[in-house]
Structure 1
Amino acid sequence: MVIPPPEPKIVTFDFQERLRFEYRENNFDFNDGVNSLTDDSWLLQRARVGIKVSPTDYLSFYVQGQSSLELDSDRPNEPGVMGAEGDDAIDLRQAYIKIGPKDLNITIGRQILSYGDERLIGAFDWNNLSRTFDAVKFHYGTKDWSIEPLPPPWWWPTVTPSTTATSLTATKPGATRSSAASTSVLQPSARWAPPPTSTPCICMRNTSRAIPTSSRWAPA
């Protein structure tokens, strides 16, 4: 008796819910005589829901939304200010189209990029907001290795000092978003500018079981 292979799923849903309680005491300035906003406890909540549509083996669409909240905290609601995770009630985390087979494909749109130990490029998933990238990714791989050239970004954020509590996100080139409340702590202000270089990068990844997985960046 031959069991037929399962039929491919055209539409797939995914859902994730994460709760994390944190308690911190005297980890901002190591001074017991100062009661900082970070000397507090709070509950981090994060929910994600996504849908993937794959009409063929060579074409797929994926969209994922995310809700991230820091509950019962005295820290600012702006992400990154005073070390706060911040609140983002609803946002678009991923939205991309993938064209091509498993070994040779291109992914266009907002997506997760993860290389090496993620010090430079990675999802940073411990953070409640996490991190994704608007990118075009080419992928070619075999059983033992893969290569992913990435074109250079058209714009990226640069950081300048500021004496006001500001957000680390910008909506478009030349625009900034900042809060009106001032603080005595110097906070960075983000603005969009052309990249200092236009050199694309290539990631070479070893996927052999005999050798530990590794990633290496090199100029294209």
Structure 2
Amino acid sequence: MKAITTLFFGIVSCTCLAQETSFKQLRYDENYAYLAKDTSANWYNRLKFQPVSQNKADYLSFGGEVRYQYFHFDNQDWGAAPADKDGFILTRYLGHVDFHAGKHFRTFVQLQSSLASGEAEKPSPVDQNLLDLHQAFVDLMTKDLTLRLGRQELSYGSQRLVAVREAPNNRQAFDAAKLMYGSKNLKLDVFYSYYVPAKPNIFDDGFNNGTQFWGAYGAFTQIPVVKNFDIYYLGIHKKAATFDDGKGAETRHSIGTRIWRTTPYWQYDLEGLYQFGNFAAGAISAWTLSANISHTFYQTKLKPQIGLKTEAISGDKNYGDGRLNTFNPLFPKGAYFGLAALIGPYNLLDAHPYFQFNLTKKLVFSADYDLFWRMNRNDGLYAVNGKVIYSGKAGSSKQIGRQLGGALEYTINKYLYLRQEITWFSAGHFLKEAGPGKDILMAGSTITLKF
């Protein structure tokens, strides 16, 4: 802790001297080559750009992250989990080194340590993974093409389907081969990968062939009328998959499109996709539609924003009919409906109005209200990781409940970020039919230091 505190004050003290560039969610997307022209004696700039050749074409760049989170739940899992009066702490450490050899070769290595303390039950590997090789890949580059080989994070679109899983304690990765093409108005990725499941001990996240994941994702920009247009195909094969309708091998294909645009005043994100394939001895037919539309009063002092999100996500129509209609969100962001992460995007219909405003340039308040229903009665309620929380056979009501959340975010500078969040979930009829059905109250605090 002393070392982290020293690092923090060292970074803050040199902020006024450092040239500014924003940190990326995908840290391998950061580029510090511009510091080759830096002539200052700033130690932080040397950390981000350390030349290893006389012409400075070959260089090393170092970076990392420390994140502390505290959570307290009343009636976790709607009263089904053991009571925990003291709450628990999650800590995540990330550190990376990025080596560039000219314009055509690059390698990136990142370690991750995720720790959990104080949980009433044994923490899952998503909460606790003591130390592991999170990313290790090489890039072979030409002007427009990059071939990336090795363990890497994947993230596409709005992260509804493929995400780094930023909110949970342990980010996710894939052992993959990916070919990337980039031009002024098009980015196209084609990849084949194996998912890396998290394990709790030291350097035990080895190669695993239990889940294969492949696909192609194209993002077009500067399109008339719609502005931005994504189209994609994603395929997955799991040796062992579980849904409310049964267990078995799953091969699923997803074809979808996304239209989105962001202006100072209006923002919209519309997405739809269809899934087909095979599960156990039956066929798959599933779908989802989503919309996120918001308006920002840009010229108003606090720049308030109001918006509405809504999603329709298919569920299974009938038990034992040899046809699975449950949508599979693949590898979504962990906090799909807020940091509490109570419900996953399966068999779901939700309406989600929200608003936010800037109290100052660095302090933002946001609030949202979510209404949840099961899409179909003959399918269950799922967690974010796909685990069946309650079978559809446990109750007949479609009403899951209502969720009210509020958050205060303070960005001190580009290095340090604070967040306080509170969530109240009012259990609906289905939760009361299927289990204890108690209301949940969650409070969470986050502090993140990046360098």
Partner residue in 2 for 1:100: 141
2:232, 2:70 → 1: CA distance? 36
Distance 1:90 1:101, change over 3 A: same
**2:115 is the counterpart of 1:78:** no
**2:104 is the counterpart of 1:58:** yes
Partner residue in 2 for 1:12: 61
Q: Could you tell me which of 203, 207, 213 is aligned with 2:217?
A: 203
Task: Give 1:103's aligned amino acid.
Answer: D
Q: Could you tell me which of 182, 188, 194 is aligned with 1:147?
A: 188
Which secondary structure state, in structure 2, belongs to the residue aligned with residue 10 of structure 1? strand
Instruction: Please give the TM-score of this superposition, normalised by the length of structure 1.
Output: 0.67
Instruction: Identify the range of structure 1 (53-62 vs 203-212) with the bigger mean alpha-carbon deviation.
Output: 203-212
Instruction: Please give the TM-score of this superposition, normalised by the length of structure 2.
Output: 0.35
Structure 1: give runs of 5+ residues left out of the alignment: 80-84, 159-165, 175-191
Q: Could you tell me which of 213, 230, 239 is aligned with 1:215?
A: 230
Structure 2: give runs of 5+ residues left out of the alignment: 1-35, 38-55, 236-451
Which secondary structure state, in structure 1, belongs to the residue aligned with residue 133 of structure 2? strand
2:86, 2:230 → 1: CA distance? 39
Residue by residue over 1:162-190, the C-alpha shift from the partner in whole angstroms, topping out at 9 and shown as x without a partner, is: xxxx98x985558xxxxxxxxxxxxxxxx
Structure number with the higher helix fraction is: 2
Contact 1:115–1:215 (8 Å) recurs in 2: no
- Consecutive aligned runs of 4 or more in structure 1 exceeding 6 Å deviation: none
1:64, 1:157 → 2: CA distance? 14
Which secondary structure state, in structure 1, belongs to the residue aligned with residue 233 of structure 2? strand
2:167, 2:72 → 1: CA distance? 16
Partner residue in 2 for 1:23: 72
Quote the offset at 1:217 in angstroms. Answer: 1.1
Distance 1:156 1:44, change over 3 A: closer
Q: Could you tell me which of 69, 81, 88 is aligned with 1:42?
A: 88
Question: What is the percentage of aligned positions where both structures have the same residue?
Answer: 21
Contact 1:37–1:75 (8 Å) recurs in 2: no
1:157, 1:48 → 2: CA distance? 17
Q: Could you tell me which of 153, 156, 166 is aligned with 1:115?
A: 156
Task: Give 2:94's aligned amino acid.
Answer: R
Residue by residue over 1:34-91, the C-alpha shift from the partner in whole angstroms, topping out at 9 and shown as x without a partner, is: 6625675111100111101111111101110011001222221332xxxxx4321111
Q: Could you tell me which of 73, 78, 87 is aligned with 2:128?
A: 87
Distance 1:112 1:102, change over 3 A: farther
Contact 1:138–1:150 (8 Å) recurs in 2: yes
Q: Which has the larger radius of gyration?
A: 2
2:93, 2:208 → 1: CA distance? 29
1:149, 1:121 → 2: CA distance? 14
1:219, 1:26 → 2: CA distance? 37
Which secondary structure state, in structure 2, belongs to the residue aligned with residue 124 of structure 1? coil
Contact 1:106–1:137 (8 Å) recurs in 2: yes
1:145, 1:43 → 2: CA distance? 42
1:137, 1:131 → 2: CA distance? 16
2:90, 2:189 → 1: CA distance? 34
Distance 1:22 1:173, change over 3 A: closer
